[in-house]
Structure formats: C-alpha cells, structure tokens
Amino acid sequence: MSTETLQCGKRIYLFESRITKNGHRYLMITEKSFGRLSKVMVFHDHFEMFQAALERTMEAEPVPAGTAAG
C-alpha cells in the first residue's frame, strides 16, 4: 500500500493505493475537514477515465456556487 498526504489549510487529503481481497487495485481518496471524513474509491480500470474527467473539469468554465450542474 502506498499513501500520500496533502495538507491544504484546514483540509487534509489522503491518497492511498490499495488492493482488495480478490486482487483488484483501487485508489482511496479521503478528505478530512472540520471533523468530517469523505471518501471516494476509484478502481484501477477507471483510473484513465477518472483522470480525463478531472482534467476536463479543471479546464472548463467554472459554474457559480449554488447553481445546479448537470
């Protein structure tokens, strides 16, 4: 297992490379902020799609806060 921690102000992001009992690799992203934990699991076969979606989102025109995106 590989782990990397990123602290950004009051938020802490943990990136962990893990493997399931049946041998499937996945990335666990955990956000710790204000006493709460939020987790996202991205499985190995979705890495490229996840990364591409993240890049497209970062390059796109931002949506104003409070506006429904869809």
We report the CATH number of the domain holding residue 25 as: 3.10.450.700
Q: Total domain count for the chain?
A: 1
Q: What is the pTM of this model?
A: 0.79
What phi-psi label fits residue 23: left (phi over 0), alpha (psi between -120 and 50 degrees) or beta?
Answer: left
Residue type, 2: S
Structure confidence by residue, pLDDT tens digits, 33-65: 999 999 999 999 999 999 999 999 999 998 888
β-pairing verdict for 25-33 and 36-43: antiparallel
**Residue 40 belongs to domain spanning:** 2-48
Mean pLDDT score of the chain: 93
Average pLDDT over residues 2-10: 95
